[in-house]
Amino acid sequence: MTSPPASAGTGTAPAVRLLGGAASLGGRPVLRGVDLTVRPGEVVSLLGANGSGKSTTIRAVMGSVPLQRGTLELFGTPYGRFRAWHRVGYVPQRTSAASGVPASVREVVSTGRLSRHGLRPFRRRDREAVDRALDAVGMLDRAGDGVGNLSGGQQQRVLIARAMVGEPDLLVMDEPMAGVDLASQQVLADTLEREVRRGAAVLLVLHELGPLEPLIDRAVVLRDGCVAHDGPPPPAAGQHALPGHDHVHPHGGDHDRRARTTAPGLLP
């Protein structure tokens, strides 16, 4: 699925299709019927206040939170039967990339290739893919270092390399910019841009659009577990899209996404 974004969405199955998704955490309903579609090559940002259900939506799409109601399809396949995990790259909300035992940057990124090589041995092309992903986030020179010794921003770059190393058609990221220094933010924005140009669809949770703003095709704003807005990203700094702002954009129904993505200057 390397079709350019401009031709995407016509006939091809959406990368993500969540219809009427409802989920609870600890008995409290967090999602009350969320509709979310991400078409191939599209960049969709989930916005909303803390507790509005952004992360839960992402985790429901990735199967970490079970859906109580609603249907979920990935690339046109119902979630229960979906096996093409090599098409998905995931950056979970970060606490730390480190665990109880030292692990090198290369070892952590290599786990992203498991969806490709599975039980077969780790081959040269897997190693080359790891090198490319590390190079893309500017961490190749730190490949042998322990992830525990990296800064938060550097750890985040490693986790994004891990998600990219399988060359996925869909990248799902939960707050990739949280706690990341400015230099790393720019590296992440550049990396993401290359992935989008390669044809990957992206679904990401953001607190605000920030340096990723030019890449975003569509913003889905959640409020109390419901979709409050689904349409073009707010032009300013995201204030219009944020809960507490009463004005709801009259973009109901289908918006012409194709016109947006082919608009000059949007994708450099």
Binding site for other proteins (CB under 8 A): 48-50, 59, 62-64, 83, 85-86, 88, 90, 92, 97, 99-104, 106-108, 110-112, 114-115, 118-119, 122, 141-142, 144-146, 149-154, 162, 166, 172, 177-183, 185, 207-208, 210, 236-239, 242-245
DSSP state of 92: P
What minimum distance in Å lies between the beta carbon of 89 and other proteins?
8
3 or 104: CB nearest other proteins? 104
166 or 225: CB nearest other proteins? 166
Gap between the Cα atoms of 54 and 226, Å rounded: 10
What minimum distance in Å lies between the beta carbon of 10 and other proteins?
28
Gap between the Cα atoms of 22 and 4, Å rounded: 32
50 or 264: CB nearest other proteins? 50
What minimum distance in Å lies between the beta carbon of 70 and other proteins?
19
Gap between the Cα atoms of 126 and 110, Å rounded: 8
What minimum distance in Å lies between the beta carbon of 256 and other proteins?
26
9 or 172: CB nearest other proteins? 172
Give alpha helix (H) positions in the chain: 54-61, 105-110, 114-117, 124-136, 152-164, 182-198, 257-262
CA 145, 154, 104: angle at the middle one, nearest 5? Answer: 25
- Check if the beta carbon of residue 29 is closer than 8 Å to that of residue 220: no
